[in-house]
Amino acid sequence: MVLEVLDLKQEIIMLPISRILLPMDFSDRCMVMLPYVQAVAARYDAELILLHVEKDDELAKAGRDQLQDFDVRRVLYDGDPAEAITEFAKSEKIDLIAMPTHGYGTFRRFLIGSVTAKILHDVTCPVLTGVHMEEDPAVNLAKFSNVLCAIDLGPQSADVLNWASQLATDFQGQFGIVHAVPPPSPGLELLFSGDWRAEVANMARKDIETLLSPIRPAGATIDIQEGETPKAVCSSAKSVGADVLVIGRGPRDRMAGRLTTHAYAIIRQSPCPVISV
C-alpha cells in the first residue's frame, strides 16, 4: 500500500443537488436511508421527493416525524417500479437518488435487488446506495466527514474525482483517493521485483496527481492498492474508516447500461454507503 498526502488549495464549489429522490417501499431498509437523505437535503437545501409505486396511504405517513423540517414532496406512481423511478428521475431532473440495495438475508447478501440494479444501470444521475449486509445497520446520524473516491484512471475518472472532492468540500470532510493495481498473473510473480511494483504504483500516483491538479483538493490522500479491484477498494474504505465511497458506474452503453462488473461488486462488498456517479 502506498499512501501519500497532497497539500493543495481547494476552491469551494457546491455540488448542484437541488432534488433528491427516495423511492419508498416502507421497509426497514428504506427507513435506514432516511438519515442520509436528511443530511444531504439539509446541506444543499434540496427538495426531497418520496416516490411510491402503487397506491398506498402509507406514503403520507412515511418519515413524517423525521422529515417535518424538510421540503418534502410525496408522489404516487403506477406501473413497473424500476421504469417508474427511471422515468420520474429523468422528467423531474433529479440530482441524486437514494436506495437500499435490498441485500439482507442469507442468500440475498450475494445479490443487489433487481429494482436497484436496474436503476443503477439506467439512470444518469448519481445514486446513493446503503450498505449491502445481512442485517439492518443501526443508522441514527449519517456522516459525510470522510469521503473516499475510487478511480480506475479511465476516461470517467476526472469527473468522478471532481464530484467526490466537491462532496468532501461541501461537508468539510477528509478526502481520499484509492486506485487498485492488478496483481501479476499467476505464475509470473517471480518475474516482477519489488522495484517493478513500486514503479507501477509511482506511475499510477503521478497519473492521479495530474487528474487532481485542476481540482486542487486540500489534504487529499492517495492510496495505491495491489489486488482485485473490488476487494482492494473495499479494504481501503474499511482501513480509513470511510463514511461514503464514491465510484464511477462507467459510460452509458445502449445494451449493457452503466453498471460495470467492478461497480456492482464494490457496491455489494463496501463497508460503507456508496455513491455511484
List pLDDT tens digits, range 242-273: 999 999 987 765 444 566 789 999 999 999 99
C-alpha cell at 24: 419508498
Q: Let me know: does 100 contact 32? Beta carbons within 8 Å.
A: yes
Q: Could you tell me the pLDDT band of residue 70, with boundaries at 50, 70 and 90?
A: confident
Alpha helices in 74-156 (DSSP H): 81-91, 114-122
Q: For the beta carbon of residue 67, count every other beta carbon within 10 angstroms.
A: 18
Does 173 lie in the same domain as 80? no
Considering only residues 246 and 71, tell me which one the structure prediction assigns the higher pLDDT.
Answer: 246
Question: Is the separation of the CB atoms in 198 and 224 below 8 Å?
Answer: no
160 and 249 together in one domain: yes
One-letter identity of residue 219: G
pLDDT at 139: 58
In a domain, 135, yes or no: no
**The total number of structural domains that make up the chain:** 2
pLDDT in tens, 168-196: 999 999 999 999 998 776 655 555 555 77
256 in the same domain as 272: yes
Residues 143-163: tens digit of each pLDDT? 999 999 999 999 899 999 999
- Which residues neighbour 232 within 8 Å (Cβ) at sequence distance 6 or greater? 178, 180, 225, 226
Q: Domain boundary at 80, 105, 129, which?
A: 129
Residue at 134 is within a domain: no
CATH of the domain at 233: 3.40.50.620
Same domain, 59 and 26: yes
150 and 263 share a domain? Answer: yes
Is residue 137 a part of any domain in this protein?
no
Domain range for residue 210? Answer: 2-13+142-276
Residues above pLDDT 70, as percent of the chain: 78
In this structure, are 115 and 157 located in the same domain?
no
Identify the residue whose cell numbers are 481501503: 236
Question: Which residue do the cell numbers 499467476 mark?
Answer: 186
pLDDT at 197: 78
Computed over every residue of the chain, the mean pLDDT equals 84
